[in-house]
Every structure is written in structure tokens, then in C-alpha cells.
Amino acid sequence: MKDKIRIVFAVFSLGMLGLMIWRIAGGVWTPLNWGMFAVAATCCLLIFKNFVYVFNYSYGLCVALNSALIWFVLPSTATALMAAVGFTYGVRLFLFTWVRMHSESYSEKYEGIRQADSYVPKPVKVSLWVQCTLLHTFHLMGLWFVAGKAVISVPVLIGIFAMLAGTLIEALADAQKQTAKSRDSTALVADGLFARWRHPNYAGEILFHAGIIIAGLASVTDMAGAVVVVIAPLYIILLMISEAARMDGVHTEKYGETDEYRRYRANSGSLIPRLF
């Protein structure tokens, strides 16, 4: 599964590079787009400190800073609403990651991450830096299109609401999981949101990115713009689906022999809660 999602990431990165070159050549790559690129490239430099940082710290920083940048350059009510959710999402993710990285329950895993980083060759880090810079540049293109049109339509509001709901679900799930892991770092989290929902954190992430797509598509006028809006959020949605499947495998291997886990699997959904 990991190898497949890496291949998918490489394909999507090539697609984003092609879109960027095409838009530059067509004269539709704006100074604000260059600003978004600069923010992404700068934030992603954290990969040279530790390769894992680009997937959490850099990610949160890029979402927060580019949300603020787009609002600052193209202010409107529509921009403010969507950018506020994006900024909140990014800051929340950055702070949560900081707290988790420095928690006692995460110390053993963090040490493993530090050791793993020492084995990642510099050329691989450079390649990841380029790919993640492209990903984070295109990540909020939906917000950029909404800001450019500056119209609050029903689909835009639905997209913003989905982003907000995803942010709240993910925040609550992360908090509940971190609390449970602080009590017992080896225990399966199966209460709170997790009681009937094995991966509410990933589901919240998917909902957030679905909201970006919905709001962005409501503000484009052609198929090319639609591709620009969809490409980065769609990759992250596919990544979350892949991670949910991977974690189900990890948990089955770790807890699968117990009756308690078998009952839990039978009574819970992966990315959609099993309420009945």
C-alpha cells in the first residue's frame, strides 16, 4: 500500500509541475501564485531537519500562511470565511503536532523517526522537497479561485461548512486519541468518536479537502481550472483512504486475536461511522 501511494504521489507531482509550467507559459500564473509557491517552498525546507516534519509541521504552516496570504491580497467576505477556516485548520494541526511530538507517549516513536531520518539520502529529501512544495502550492488553489471570484454562492458556503466540519471532527478525534494514548500508548482507542468510527481523524481530513474542492469548483469557469482546484486535495483524500486501510491492517495484526477487537471491527465503520 505504501509503495502504491508513493507512486500515486509521484504521478500527481508530475501533474502539478506540468500544470504550473503550462499556466506560467499561458500567462495565468499570477504574482499571488508565486507567493503561494514561495511560502510552500520555504515551509517545506523543514524536510532537511527531519523528513517527517514536511508532512505535519510544514503542512500546517503552509495551510495557515497561504490562507492568510490569499486573504491579504484578495480580501472579500467569501475569502475571509474560507481563509479563516483554512488558517484555523493549519494552526490547529501545527500545534497538535508540536504537543504530540513532545509528549511522553510519543517519545519512543519520535526516537524511531529521528533514527530513520539519518538514513534518508539528501537526493531523496530534495525530491520530496520539490514534490511537497508543488503539493502545498496547489493545495489551496480552491481558495484562490474563490478569492478571485469573491462571490458567496450556496456551493461555496457548502464547501466552507464541509471544511469547518472536517476541522472540528479531526480536532476532536486527535484530542481524544492523544488523551487515550497518554494513559496507555499501546492501547487501541475505541471510545469517544472512535467507538463506532475507526478513523474519524482521517474522515475529518477528507471532509476538509472535499470542502476545498466543492468551494473551488463553484468558482471556476473551465475544465482547466477544475483540474487545478482538484489535483492536490484529491491526492490527500486518496492518501487518507490509503492510511485508513493501512491502519486497519496494523490493528488487525496487533489486536486481531482478541474477541474485543473482533467485536469492535464488527460494530464500527472505517471512514463512515456505523451508527446502527
Residue 16 or residue 180, greater confidence: 16
Query: Which pLDDT score, from 0 to 100, does residue 213 have?
Result: 98
Choose between 5 and 218: higher pLDDT: 218
CB-based burial label for 83 (10 Å; 0-12, 13-18, 19+): buried
Q: How confident is the model at residue 252 (pLDDT cuts 50, 70, 90)?
A: very high
Q: Give dist(CA 162, CA 203) in Å, integer.
A: 11
| pLDDT band with cut points at 50, 70 and 90 for residue 1 | low
Closest C-alpha to 206, from 261, 112, 271: 271
| Mean pLDDT for all residues in the chain | 94
Which range is least confidently modeled, 43-52, 114-123, 163-172, 216-225? 114-123
Q: Does a structural domain hold residue 254?
A: no
**Residue 126 identity:** V
- The closest alpha carbon to 139, from 178, 194, 82, belongs to 82
Q: How far is CA 107 from the centre of its chain?
A: 23
First to last CA, the chain: 30
Give the dihedral sign, CA 26/86/67/96: negative
58: nearest Cα among 80, 42, 71, 74:
42
Is pLDDT at 219 greater than 90 in this prediction?
A: yes
pLDDT for 188: 87
Is 72 a residue whose pLDDT tops 90?
yes
Give pLDDT, residue 187: 83
Q: What's the pLDDT tens digit per position in 120-165?
A: 899 999 999 999 999 999 999 999 999 999 999 999 999 999 999 9
Is 12 domain-assigned? yes
Structural contact between residues 186 and 220, judged by C-beta atoms closer than 8 angstroms: no
Establish if 252 belongs to a structural domain.
Answer: no
pLDDT digit string (tens) for 259-269? 899 999 999 99
Classify residue 207: in a domain, yes or no: yes
Asked whether residue 253 is assigned to any structural domain, the reply reads: no
Spell out the residues 6+ positions from residue 198 whose beta carbon is closer than 8 angstroms to its own.
244, 247, 248, 251, 265, 268, 269, 270
Q: Which residues pair with 31 in a beta bridge?
A: none
The region, left, alpha or beta by phi > 0 then psi within -120 to 50, assigned to residue 7 is alpha
**Whether residue 107 has pLDDT greater than 80:** no
What's the total number of domains in the chain?
1
pLDDT tier for residue 13 given thresholds of 50, 70 and 90: very high
Residue with cell 484562490: 144
Could you tell me which of 45, 254, 238 has the C-alpha nearest to residue 132? 45
Percent of the chain with pLDDT over 90: 80
273 within a domain of the structure (yes/no): no
Q: Would 175 be classed as within a structural domain?
A: yes
Q: What is the mean pLDDT of residues 236-251?
A: 95
Q: What is the pLDDT of residue 135?
A: 97
Residue-level pLDDT at 182: 84
- pTM tops 0.85: yes
In the predicted structure, residue 108 carries a pLDDT above the cut 90:
no
Return the top range by mean pLDDT from 49-58, 208-217, 263-272.
208-217
Q: Give the domain extent around 43.
A: 2-247+259-266
The helix, strand and coil proportions of the chain, stated in percent and rounded to the nearest 5, come to: 80, 0, 20
126 located within any domain: yes
pLDDT of residue 2: 67
pLDDT bucket at 21, cuts 50 / 70 / 90: very high
Q: How far is CA 268 from CA 213, 262, 275, 276, in A?
A: 28, 10, 8, 9
Q: Are 176 and 264 in contact (CB under 8 A)?
A: no
The per-residue pLDDT for 239 is 96
